[in-house]
Amino acid sequence: MANTQTILVPLAEGFEEIEAATIVDVLRRAELHVTLAGLQPGPVLGAHGVAFSTDATLDEVDPEKISALVLPGGQPGTDNLLADERILELCRRLGAEEKPTAAICAAPMVLAEAGLLEGRPATSYPSFQNRLAGAQVQSEPRVVRSGSVLTSQGPGTSLEFALTLVAEFKNEETALELGRALLVADPVR
């Protein structure tokens, strides 16, 4: 297991619980290796008072083993991710290596700050779309793919987003099977 590549889902205080839980749950159902990492030690409190246990702290994760990064949104969680230089540097490094980087809700702002959305189609929670500097902001579709970058809009799109990640990280067949098992009307678009 020491050589396992991992999909990193970092949590900052004030994250959106629905997004984080959906992303991690669906990716693990697809048998993908996901590491849920807190910016600091201990449980991380979400925007609505739900505490999540993590697998590790960000400092305990080997950056060389990260194959993809997925950022849940929420506030003030996104602002806390934006304020953490380790997260911005990780976004920049993965972007330079053309490894998948994904964000939902307000979190596409982190990708924009790291320079990953420059000239790319992207989406976010509607009230944050004006903060995606350099992006070609789109209101539709609800999940936008542009090369190795994926963005989505918010809690209501988190299942669609997670299934799109499964299609991206594993394969479309697995995403479709999971979507059907979860009773999703249109599992992967």
82-125 pLDDT, tens digit per residue, is 999 999 999 999 999 999 999 999 999 999 999 999 999 999 99
Kindly indicate the confidence band of residue 5, based on its pLDDT and cuts at 50, 70 and 90. Answer: confident
Burial degree of 1 (CB within 10 A; 0-12, 13-18, 19+)? exposed
CA distance 61 to 112: 23
Query: Please, what is the end-to-end C-alpha distance for the chain in angstroms?
Result: 33
**Sign of the dihedral through C-alpha 74, 165, 39, 122:** negative
Kindly indicate the confidence band of residue 185, based on its pLDDT and cuts at 50, 70 and 90. Answer: confident
Q: Give exposure, 152-163, as e/b (b: 16+ Cβ within 10 Å).
A: bbbbebbbbbbb
Residue ranges per structural domain of the chain? 6-181
User: Given 105, 112, 163, 175, which residue is catalytic?
Assistant: 105
| Nearest residue to 5 via CA among 99, 107, 116 | 99
Active site residue 105: yes
Kindly indicate the confidence band of residue 7, based on its pLDDT and cuts at 50, 70 and 90. Answer: very high
Tally of helices (H runs) and strands (E runs) in the chain = 6, 11
The answer to whether the predicted template modeling score (pTM) of the entire model surpasses 0.85 is yes
Q: Which CATH number fits domain 6-181: 3.40.50.880, 3.10.560.10, 3.30.70.20, 3.30.1360.170?
A: 3.40.50.880
